[in-house]
Amino acid sequence: MASDKDELEHVIGCELRLLDPQVRASATAITALLHEDFREFGASGRVWDRDSIVPAVTADPGHEVRVDDMTAVWLAPDVVLLTYQVSRPGGLTLRSSVWRRDAVGWRLFFHQGTLQL
* pLDDT, tens only, 18-68: 999 999 999 999 999 999 999 999 988 999 999 999 999 999 999 999 999
Q: What is the largest CA-CA distance in the chain?
A: 42
| Domains of the chain by start residue, with CATH | 4-115 (3.10.450.50)
What is the model's pTM?
A: 0.94
CB 106 within 8 A of CB 14: yes
Residue 70: pLDDT band with limits 50, 70, 90: very high
Exposed/middle/buried for residue 2 (C-beta within 10 Å: 0-12, 13-18, 19+):
exposed
